[in-house]
Amino acid sequence: MLETPSLFRYDSLAIPDVNELVFGKAPRPVKCGFGLEIGAGMVFPEVNFTLPPIGISEETWPEILHEYEEMATNIVRRAVAMKVPGVVLEFELLPAMTEKPEWGAEVTTLLRRHLAAAYDQHKMLSALRVTPTDIRDQGKPPLLREGEPCDRLLRSFELTIAAGADIISVESIGGKEVHDRALMMGDMDAIVFALGVLCPADMRWLWKRIVRMCAQSGHAVPGGDSACGFANTAMQLAHQKMLPEVLAAVVRAMSAVRSLAAFEEGAVGPSKDCAYEGPVIKAITGTPISMEGKSAACAHFSPIGNIAEAMCDLWSNESVQNVRLLSGSAPEAFTEMLAYDCRLMNVASERGQALALRDCLTASDEWLSPQAAVLSPAATIAISRAIVAEKDDYRRTVAAGHTAVAIIRDGVAGNGLALSKKELQWLNRIEAALDALPATGDELEAALGEEYHGLFRPASYGR
């Protein structure tokens, strides 16, 4: 089924002034859940949590519910004790809970019950984000717009919304079948094709549906998607010294285009925590964003621990297992840490020091890694401008890539960003590849190496 392309495209920035791009404040705040308003001046913790090692089956299901009960109890208790002005809980379904959508819905109900009780008893403002797993990548090549996994994914949105999800997100995987290979081969052509052509096509198809389901529910808001499977995979690989950092940085900037597509289809935020492309989304659309940084060291290391905080509206720990630490459970401990970080930001805002804190957070990471360099408020504005200046997703992606290269070059030239010889060679190689790209995505597709064509189904992208 081919779709009419959506018509709305951002062509200017909701936040053109870099000094308006700061944590806690978004031009289009989001109200949801139990009295929460996100982006209206305050930053709230977004607590993420997951199961310790345990198989998911009918047999273990009661035990699994018990784990979620325990996590919810501990997190809510700590949030209340910390007197947070509000909190978001994110429930990321595990694959088996999307395969069987009723399971995901059951946990949603359970978590929502805890938030309702905290609202009743302690007036604690809160919202529940639910993120079904994109399980459509099972076939090789994957079938994205039909088939059993696709049906279950859509059903999972439906059931979790019905069970009380306040914010809906997903980390969708369209385009990943090509991007994974391309990334490992360091092949810029194929990377750009995946990010600029395939990804947005799937995003627009999927998010049209999510937005519709949320609208019908009357209570759920479509939060946003994450380029996690793309840009965070690259970041992890760079962390493990498997890919150059400059490649990860350029992929990060380019990935914003595919995530933006969700917002052009009607997503309203808060964007997903692991979507480090969030600041670009915020600058362009004005929606509040969730970010994670040092507070997510439980889930992954990163060179962007402070700078990631600079423009956030929710502050997350990405994911932590329900294991025991000396103080108590890990989800409870991370709730406390996030709450303290948020307290600091909110007090800075109250005292008129938000920009000063934002700039310290930024400066502390900015020139220590190319991946940090593309995340500063200034870089965000530059990348955002480059994106909205172009009309189609492919050209936006290329433009974002060029801008990222330029930012990194500036950093090396004038700001003491130190790159190894190897990294510099890669930067040249990336730039040369970007320069050599054809004018349209179709031309690029035609020129693509044979090995990539077998990896994806054109029909999955309406091509």
| CB-nearer residue toward a second copy: 109 or 353 | 353
| CB-nearer residue toward Zn ion: 88 or 118 | 88
Contact (CB, 8 A) for 283 and 15: yes
Contact partner, 368, from Zn ion, ligand B12, ligand SF4, none, Cβ < 5-8 Å per class: none
| CB-nearer residue toward ligand SF4: 310 or 320 | 320
The runs of H, that is alpha helices, within 27-147 are: 61-81, 95-99, 101-122
**By CB under 6 A, which span of 24-32, 232-240, 382-390, 411-419 interacts with ligand B12?**
232-240
Please tell me whether residue 53 binds another protein under the rule CB under 8 A. yes
Min separation Cβ 235 and ligand B12, Å: 8
Around 130, how many Cα atoms within 13 Å sit in the side-chain half-sphere? 32
Greatest CA separation for the chain = 62
According to CB under 8 A, which one of 298, 383, 398, 419 is a site residue for a second copy? 298
Min separation Cβ 149 and ligand SF4, Å: 18
Count of residues of this chain found to bind a second copy when the rule CB under 8 A is applied: 48
According to CB under 8 A, which one of 90, 187, 225, 265 is a site residue for another protein? 187
In this structure, what DSSP letter does residue 147 have? S
Please list, residue by residue across 396-418, b when 16 or more beta carbons sit within 10 angstroms of its beta carbon and e when fewer do: bbbbbbbbbbebbbebbeeeebe
Phi, psi at 225, each rounded to 5°:
-110, 170
Interaction residues for a second copy, span 13-52 (CB under 8 A): 50
| CB-nearer residue toward a second copy: 1 or 326 | 326
- SS3 call for 40: strand
According to CB under 8 A, which one of 351, 391, 422, 453 is a site residue for a second copy? 351
Distance, in Å, from the CA atom of 282 to the CA atom of 22, rounded to the nearest integer, reads 10
Min separation Cβ 75 and a second copy, Å: 13
| CB-nearer residue toward a second copy: 166 or 365 | 365
What's at 97, amino acid-wise?
Answer: M
| CB-nearer residue toward ligand SF4: 38 or 231 | 231
In this structure, what DSSP letter does residue 197 have? I
Count of residues of this chain found to bind another protein when the rule CB under 8 A is applied: 30
Please tell me whether residue 60 binds a second copy under the rule CB under 8 A. no
According to CB under 8 A, which one of 94, 344, 378, 459 is a site residue for another protein? 94
According to CB under 5 A, which one of 274, 283, 311, 427 is a site residue for Zn ion? 274
Phi, psi at 367, each rounded to 5°:
-105, 20
Contact flags string 280-309 toward ligand B12, x per CB under 6 A: -------------------xx---------
Please tell me whether residue 319 binds ligand B12 under the rule CB under 6 A. yes
Q: Which residues contact 204 (CB under 8 A, 6 or more apart)?
A: 3, 5, 6, 261, 264, 265
Distance, in Å, from the CA atom of 30 to the CA atom of 38, rounded to the nearest integer, reads 5
Contact (CB, 8 A) for 244 and 426: yes
CB atoms within 10 A of CB 192: 25
| CB-nearer residue toward another protein: 190 or 373 | 190
Distance, in Å, from the CA atom of 232 to the CA atom of 227, rounded to the nearest integer, reads 7
Interaction residues for Zn ion, span 156-185 (CB under 5 A): 171
Min separation Cβ 145 and ligand B12, Å: 18
Contact (CB, 8 A) for 188 and 253: no
Contact partner, 357, from ligand SF4, ligand B12, a second copy, none, Cβ < 5-8 Å per class: a second copy
Contact (CB, 8 A) for 161 and 112: no
Numbers of helices and strands, H then E, in the chain: 18, 9
Contact (CB, 8 A) for 48 and 320: yes
Interaction residues for ligand B12, span 79-138 (CB under 6 A): 92-95, 133
Contact (CB, 8 A) for 169 and 224: yes
Around 265, how many Cα atoms within 13 Å sit in the side-chain half-sphere? 28
Min separation Cβ 54 and another protein, Å: 6
Contact flags string 129-168 toward another protein, x per CB under 8 A: --------xx-x----------------------------
Min separation Cβ 274 and Zn ion, Å: 3
Please tell me whether residue 337 binds a second copy under the rule CB under 8 A. yes
Please tell me whether residue 366 binds ligand B12 under the rule CB under 6 A. no
Residue ranges that bind another protein, judged by CB under 8 A:
50-56, 94-96, 137-138, 140, 180, 184-187, 233, 237, 240-244, 321, 324, 326, 422, 426
